[in-house]
């Protein structure tokens, strides 16, 4: 996996990663910015920038040998260059979002206040406050009101006799709204963190704990008083709660409400494109879990159209998210339709984009895409290629937050080895898988039953193998609709594979038969 994951030194050097993330226009902007500083075009920090820009892999020894800077000065020069790049980026019109614009107006007003120009400062603050309130930036709005109160204590405006009362009421209202929003955002973050660390609820005790946690932390509120921001955090909290409790219909409901907020007022798509993209992804994920193929396809087409029509602002961040969400869900559509072969063209595109974005892609997302590609190849019956992608996951390090993924990758690896007839390697694969699973504290019953059963197949005579598959299928079928065990079948459709062995048909054909049966109901 060392070839597939960026080297530690390259990942850990913030300056190098920042420089490599710059677009051509941002580099051009930095060159112009340095030129405007006057006398800096030959400055050491700019020489270091040009050198690092050309460097393929970060290496301090190579930098020192360049004679641009001594080893003792390197740390300070890097810090200075980092700051100058950030200043340049902040000046770039492409990064002038509403929050930066409001913050800039607040900074200007503060400068005017410090010069004793109270009237000018108040005028600018009032303009900035209205902009903040119009765009649901209530934290900054509260800061502005607090500064207005400070100025009013030194410069009492005669035009409004109730000015002090107005500001006091406004500060109180904003404070209360910010407290509710903060509590909801905290709840959302804690639930998301719990999902990453512990996965979905696995038993009644965990369900009881999550229920108690959610409802005890959910603040009291009046929905009619909510603006965009408060509604968004409320829907996010409910979404994570429903994902944790595996109520995927509710996940769809709240993801739909989430997206609805942006559709009601499209200016928020421009202001918060990351939130919008995440909402689309969770909507598609929920639809995938509840197997609503036609709705999934409609939403995916709508997502693609919005990308083509530039509805979603493009920047380095959104570009990566669009790649992750679009291609993961394109693969999901082929899984839902059992059109595995038709999806093979995506593999080269995904690998090419992984290499292009590697510096900025989280390892977890890379291996998640590898797992989906492995499933695609497994559905096609190309088990050697399936194993190749699974090995990328199994051999990777630092995947503590993806224990479930590691587990199912190993189970699928066993099945793929069995399908390939790699009996010489199967026993070792079993031992490795068991060693890994022993470390898992909450192994699911589906995993236990399947692993025990498939291991026993090595002692079964060829003419008895079909009956053994039927027995395993019967054992596992009882968990298909189990509230806590059904999750296993979302990662890996073991039942369809067993049915393919029993009926002697390709797995894609079995899944298509199920789809047709489901559509007739």
The pLDDT, as a whole number, for residue 269 is 93
Residue 521 has pLDDT above 70, yes or no: no
Residue 325 has pLDDT above 50, yes or no: yes
* 518 and 398 in a common domain: yes
Contacts of 377 (CB under 8 A, 6+ apart): 340, 383, 385, 386, 389
* 468 and 395 in a common domain: yes
Reported confidence tier of residue 398, pLDDT bands at 50, 70, 90: low
Last residue of a domain, one of 159, 190, 210: 159
Domain span at 75:
8-95
Contacts of 402 (CB under 8 A, 6+ apart): 364, 367, 368
Contact (CB, 8 A) for 398 and 405: no
* Residue 438 CB burial class (10 angstroms; 0-12, 13-18, ≥19): exposed
* 138 and 18 in a common domain: no
Contacts of 1 (CB under 8 A, 6+ apart): 392, 395, 396, 397
* 91 and 104 in a common domain: no
The pTM assigned to this predicted structure is 0.80
Mean of all residue pLDDT scores within the chain: 84
Residue 32 has pLDDT above 50, yes or no: yes
The pLDDT, as a whole number, for residue 353 is 94
Reported confidence tier of residue 6, pLDDT bands at 50, 70, 90: very low
Residue 160 has pLDDT above 70, yes or no: no
Q: Is residue 148 part of a domain?
A: yes
Reported confidence tier of residue 41, pLDDT bands at 50, 70, 90: low
Last residue of a domain, one of 45, 60, 95: 95
Residue 428 has pLDDT above 90, yes or no: no
How far is the C-alpha of 288 from the C-alpha of 170, rounded, in Å?
Answer: 44
* 116 and 81 in a common domain: no
Q: Is residue 223 part of a domain?
A: no
* 54 and 135 in a common domain: no
Q: Is residue 169 part of a domain?
A: no
Q: Is residue 212 part of a domain?
A: no
Q: Which structure tokens are listed for 318? A: 């959104």
How far is the C-alpha of 315 from the C-alpha of 209, rounded, in Å?
Answer: 40
The pLDDT, as a whole number, for residue 439 is 72
pLDDT digits (tens, 9 = 90+) for 176-232: 889 999 999 999 999 988 887 777 888 889 999 999 999 999 999 889 889 899 999
Residue 402 has pLDDT above 70, yes or no: no
Could you count the other beta carbons within 10 Å of the beta carbon of residue 8?
Answer: 9
How far is the C-alpha of 369 from the C-alpha of 360, rounded, in Å?
Answer: 15
The pLDDT, as a whole number, for residue 257 is 97
How far is the C-alpha of 73 from the C-alpha of 137, rounded, in Å?
Answer: 41
Q: Is residue 282 part of a domain?
A: no
Query: Worst-scoring range by mean pLDDT, 9-13, 150-154, 199-203, 421-425?
Result: 9-13
Residue 519 has pLDDT above 80, yes or no: no
Last residue of a domain, one of 95, 110, 145: 95
- Mean per-residue pLDDT, 408-419: 84
Reported confidence tier of residue 454, pLDDT bands at 50, 70, 90: low
* 46 and 17 in a common domain: yes
* 105 and 89 in a common domain: no
Query: Worst-scoring range by mean pLDDT, 59-73, 291-305, 319-333?
Result: 59-73
pLDDT digits (tens, 9 = 90+) for 287-307: 999 889 999 999 999 999 999
Residue 157 has pLDDT above 60, yes or no: no
- Mean per-residue pLDDT, 135-157: 84
Residue 125 has pLDDT above 80, yes or no: yes
Query: Worst-scoring range by mean pLDDT, 105-114, 230-239, 462-471?
Result: 462-471
* 121 and 71 in a common domain: no
* 511 and 393 in a common domain: yes
The pLDDT, as a whole number, for residue 460 is 61
Query: Worst-scoring range by mean pLDDT, 81-95, 153-167, 472-486?
Result: 153-167
Reported confidence tier of residue 477, pLDDT bands at 50, 70, 90: confident
The pLDDT, as a whole number, for residue 499 is 84
* 394 and 452 in a common domain: yes
Q: Is residue 224 part of a domain?
A: no
Reported confidence tier of residue 12, pLDDT bands at 50, 70, 90: low
Reported confidence tier of residue 484, pLDDT bands at 50, 70, 90: confident
* 519 and 391 in a common domain: yes
What SS3 state is found at 272?
A: coil
- Mean per-residue pLDDT, 156-165: 63
- Kindly list the distances between the CA atom of residue 510 and the CA atoms of 376, 471, 485, 518, in Å, as whole numbers in the listed order: 15, 18, 22, 12
Q: Is residue 312 part of a domain?
A: no
Residue 27 has pLDDT above 80, yes or no: yes
Query: Worst-scoring range by mean pLDDT, 154-163, 218-227, 438-447?
Result: 154-163
Into how many domains does the chain fold? 3
- Mean per-residue pLDDT, 453-472: 70
- Mean per-residue pLDDT, 40-65: 84
Q: Is residue 335 part of a domain?
A: no
């Amino acid at each position: 996996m060392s070839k597939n994951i960026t080297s530690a030194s390259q990942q850990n050097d913030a300056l190098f990663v920042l420089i490599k993330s710059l677009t051509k226009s941002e580099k051009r902007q930095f060159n112009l910015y340095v030129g405007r500083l006057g006398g800096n075009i030959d400055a050491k920090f700019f020489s270091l920038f040009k050198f690092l820009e050309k460097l393929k892999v970060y290496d301090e020894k190579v930098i020192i040998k360049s004679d641009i800077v001594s080893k003792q000065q390197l740390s300070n020069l890097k810090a200075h260059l980092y700051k100058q790049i950030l200043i340049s980026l902040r000046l770039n019109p492409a990064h002038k979002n509403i929050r930066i614009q409001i913050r800039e107006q607040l900074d200007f007003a503060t400068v005017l206040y410090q010069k004793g120009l109270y009237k000018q400062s108040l005028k600018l603050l009032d303009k900035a406050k209205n902009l903040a309130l119009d765009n649901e930036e209530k934290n900054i709005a509260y800061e502005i009101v607090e500064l207005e109160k400070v100025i009013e204590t030194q410069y009492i405006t005669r035009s409004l006799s109730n000015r002090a009362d107005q500001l006091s009421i406004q500060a109180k209202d904003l404070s209360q709204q910010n407290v509710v929003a903060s509590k909801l955002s905290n709840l959302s973050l804690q639930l998301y963190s719990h999902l990453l660390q512990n996965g979905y609820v696995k038993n009644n005790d965990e369900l009881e704990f999550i229920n108690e946690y959610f409802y005890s932390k959910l603040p009291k509120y009046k929905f009619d008083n909510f603006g965009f921001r408060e509604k968004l955090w409320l829907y996010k909290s409910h979404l994570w709660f429903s994902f944790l409790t595996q109520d995927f219909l509710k996940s769809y409901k709240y993801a739909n409400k989430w997206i609805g907020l942006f559709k009601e007022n499209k200016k928020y798509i421009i202001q918060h494109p990351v939130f919008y993209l995440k909402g689309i992804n969770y909507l598609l994920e929920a639809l995938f879990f509840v197997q609503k193929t036609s709705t999934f396809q409609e939403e995916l087409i709508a997502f693609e159209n919005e990308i083509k029509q530039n509805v979603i602002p493009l920047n380095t961040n959104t570009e990566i998210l669009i790649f992750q969400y679009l291609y993961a869900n394109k693969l999901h559509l082929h899984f839902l339709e059992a059109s595995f072969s038709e999806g093979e063209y995506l593999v080269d595109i995904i690998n090419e984009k992984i290499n292009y974005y590697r510096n900025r892609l989280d390892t977890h997302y890379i291996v998640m895409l590898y797992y989906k590609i492995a499933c695609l190849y497994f559905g096609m019956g190309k088990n050697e290629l399936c194993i190749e992608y699974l090995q990328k996951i199994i051999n990777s390090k630092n995947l503590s937050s993806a224990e479930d993924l590691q587990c199912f990758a190993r189970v699928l690896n066993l099945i793929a080895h069995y399908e390939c007839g790699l009996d010489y390697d199967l026993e070792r694969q079993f031992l490795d898988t068991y060693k890994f699973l022993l470390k898992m504290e909450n192994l699911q019953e589906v995993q236990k039953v399947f692993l025990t059963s498939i291991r026993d197949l090595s002692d079964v005579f060829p003419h008895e193998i079909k009956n053994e598959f039927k027995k395993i299928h019967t054992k596992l079928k009882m968990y298909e609709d189990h509230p806590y065990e059904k999750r296993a079948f979302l990662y890996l459709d073991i039942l369809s594979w067993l049915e393919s062995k029993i009926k002697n048909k390709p797995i894609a054909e079995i899944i298509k038969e199920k789809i047709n049966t489901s559509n007739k109901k």
